[in-house]
Amino acid sequence: MELIDIKFDQVIEWLSNRKKLDKDWSSKLRAIHAKQNDLIKSLSENPELENTIDNSKHGYLQAVEIFQKLLNTSEADKGKTLLGNYSSPYIYEWDRLIKLYQKQNLHLADCGKNLIQIGSYESPALKTQLHTFEKQAQDYIHKEENIKDHMEKNHKQFQELCKKMGITGKKIPEELKALTRNLPDIYLDIINKLKGPLFSSLLESYREISMRNHNSEISLPTIDSLRSYEPDVNMEELRDSYSPVVAIEDNIAEEIVIEAPAEIEWKIETIEIGEEITKEIKDFPLSQRNIRMSLLTELIELESFAEITGRYQDTVKEIMKEFRSAQDLVLMHEQPKAVERNAQKLEMFNNNKLQDQLNNIRKNAENLRITAKQTHHQLKEHLTKAAKFILVLETEITKLFPSISVKIVGEIIKDIKNQL
């Protein structure tokens, strides 16, 4: 017996060349398909027989399967007529339909046509989709890794910035505002440094040299005023006027942040007597911007003198350092939007947006995985059909040509072996 290989997409041409298919096979096949659709509609209208329909199949293979299922229903009990035909009109019509397919080998044309559709179009398209999905999945993996790296760096920066600012980062706006509680202590420290022995020596030296060299008295009214200032304040009460303490522990109720008014007077109404009582909370003179600016100008003058003489430089630098450390706190106290701006800068490193991106990537990757699984299942179904078409073609063609053994070949065969 001679072995012959026929490429899957050349089966119909091979049969036509050997006069096993008429030239008008295509139009005849369309007529059979139309009749098959009518028969399916008839079955779907019968509640007892509608389950014999398998819409995942079509053409000749569907007709054969429906016929076999009908033989296992009560319709088969009706037997056959004297002429050998089925008494059931349903079985009779499907038996007749199969014979129409087999007449003039139209069932081979149907299988060959479906095999070409799967092997040349549907299977390659699904394989291309799967390759695209694999690439997208790799892209999602790389994106997730990059975002996680970015999040790790951000988290480290966020912790460093919070540590530098002296906050935990759990309640950023409230904690930033609470930092302004340090201002009264900074003001007190500056005043104490102005009264210190080293600063007093610097002033004395500056006055002495100025008088000796220029015969003139120096004028540092703000420094003199602050040196003679005797604080008479309740520090804890004053700190509370800048900001309440922020509770960080989960089991402690979160306190409400109360914005202190620009003026230093709080009005408290006593409900019992209905009278308005004014309570004055005393603050340091340095809480006033004009006094801070005047002091800074005088300190710059003293700093220049200290650098020229090479003495007491550290004394002035320490006070200037206090001023610099208070700048951001003063802004946050006097301008509420400054708290918001600083909070936004910190939030940039807080990974909330990156976490949303990461969640979206993971969600998209999961959706892609589901779609890829469905596509893979769809490909497997198509290849299962193709395997059945090939079996029919190889078996039936060999029957037509007893002296040969036909083998269907081509890329579709490799796909079937890989997937099934």
% of the chain beyond a pLDDT of 90: 69
Nearest-angstrom CA–CA distance, 278 and 267: 5
Handedness of CA 296, 299, 304, 307 (dihedral sign): negative
**H-helix or E-strand spanning residue 322:** helix 313-334
Which range, of 5-9, 211-215, 222-226, 273-277, averages the lowest pLDDT? 273-277
Nearest-angstrom CA–CA distance, 184 and 240: 10
Nearest-angstrom CA–CA distance, 105 and 22: 9
- Model pLDDT, residue 249: 65
Q: Are 309 and 193 in contact (CB under 8 A)?
A: no
Nearest-angstrom CA–CA distance, 379 and 288: 78
33 C-beta neighbours (distance < 10 Å), count: 15
Give mean pLDDT, residues 44-49.
Answer: 92
- Model pLDDT, residue 271: 34
Nearest-angstrom CA–CA distance, 264 and 281: 6
Q: What is the per-residue DSSP string for 279-301? A: EE----GGGSHHHHHHHHHHHHH
Q: Which residue has the higher pLDDT, 150 or 56?
A: 150
Phi/psi region, residue 169 (left: phi>0; alpha: psi -120 to 50; beta: rest), is: left
Question: Could you tell me the end-to-end alpha-carbon distance of the chain, in angstroms, rounded to an integer?
Answer: 29
Q: Are 269 and 277 in contact (CB under 8 A)?
A: yes
Question: For the purposes of burial, counting CB atoms within 10 Å of the CB of 324, is it exposed (0-12), middle (13-18) or buried (19 or more)?
Answer: exposed
CA angle 26, 28, 32 (to 5 degrees): 115
pLDDT in tens, 11-35: 999 999 999 999 999 999 999 999 9
Q: What is the 3-state secondary structure (H, E, C) of 142-184?
A: HHHHHHHHHHHHHHHHHHHHHHHHCCCCCCHHHHHHHHHHHHH
Q: What is the pLDDT confidence band of residue 398, given thresholds at 50, 70 and 90?
A: very high
Give mean pLDDT, residues 326-333.
Answer: 90
242 C-beta neighbours (distance < 10 Å), count: 20
Q: Are 372 and 130 in contact (CB under 8 A)?
A: yes
Q: Are 277 and 270 in contact (CB under 8 A)?
A: yes
Residue 217: pLDDT over 90: no
Phi, psi of 266 (to 5 degrees): -110, 135
* Integer Rg of the chain from CA: 46
Q: Are 374 and 361 in contact (CB under 8 A)?
A: no
Residue 251: pLDDT over 60: no
Phi, psi of 269 (to 5 degrees): -95, 125
Handedness of CA 317, 318, 319, 324 (dihedral sign): positive
pLDDT in tens, 163-208: 988 898 889 899 999 999 999 999 999 999 999 999 999 999 999 9
User: Which residues pair with residue 265 across a beta bridge?
Assistant: 280
- Model pLDDT, residue 269: 34
Helices in 45-171 by DSSP H: which ranges? 59-70, 89-102, 106-117, 123-165
